[in-house]
Structure 1
Amino acid sequence: MKLSLFPYAAIVAISGLAQAAPSPQLLSVLQPEDRASVLENRTQAEGATFVLSKRGNMCGDSSFENRGSAGSPYASDCEVLARNIAPGGDWTVSRGAHRTLATFGTCAFGAEKGGPWYTYVGNEDIRDLIRDSINRFKRGDGKVGARGRMHCAGNGGGGEIIWGIFHT
């Protein structure tokens, strides 16, 4: 009697692959009590391939324009937003309309891209822009609003994005 081990080997191999697959639960970059929302985090939203990086610098130097007014978000909310995204991540900005990337309280950070394809904005880029905007433009009433342009990495060499800090 000839015993074939092939069916048994296939079962063992398949069960090993199932155990090695990533957990279906996605890790959040936010603390639950912070109640902030991140509308897309590319490193955690693309399925089974997780690319984790400690720092997310995807963009170069930026211009800054003061857009502060009585209707702007509170700088303190923007500071919390920056802390909430500190653990990592980057966001995809596609050609077309403006996209809100992250929010907390009254503060929102968004970007838009003209031209072809897409670019990435890293968590450290957003944190730097929020910090620098507050340092440059925080009003006497504690509010801040800003926008600017910067070149970010992406498809086809990346491209310029227009970013903004605005009221939710």
Structure 2
Amino acid sequence: MRERLLAALRERGLLADDGAATIYGEPAWRPVPAGCEPQALLDARPLQRRLVECAHGTAAMGEDLCAAWVERAFSRLGMGYVSGDARDLYEGFCHLTDTGDLLVGMIVAVGRHPYGAGGWDHGHVGLYAGDGMVMDCAGGRVRRVPLELWISAYGVASEPRWGWLGAMALA
């Protein structure tokens, strides 16, 4: 998977000549270090697991509406509604970068990415679903993506970070 992603980034001209960093100065690949694994779904509290269930039951939104999808999943949990685009959520609530601090139900976001019309201005956000997987809404569909792939692919232009939406800790 790592080699396919790096080859795709190289084809799109997003990797620097040395291959170790993107043209934006971010690491080209971000593995989860041993001993820094994020929380497993079975280790999550009931409210965290319920949020993942709500996310699975939340329909996909339109193009560039990743933040609206995350916000809707949280509102279905009964946690109120926090609004803003992915960059607002990134800047307001995502301050952690150590994968060992990543808990089920946290939002995972980047402030910008080069993959779509709104990516550079608004960024991208998903939801950590446990067991090394991120759920997000991209291209009009909800998907589950391995964490390493998500942070490596979306982190080409800005540092991926995570935190609790609305500063409402579920753990």
Larger proportion of helix: 2
Higher gyration radius (CA): 1
TM-score, length-scaled by structure 1: 0.30
Larger proportion of strand: 1
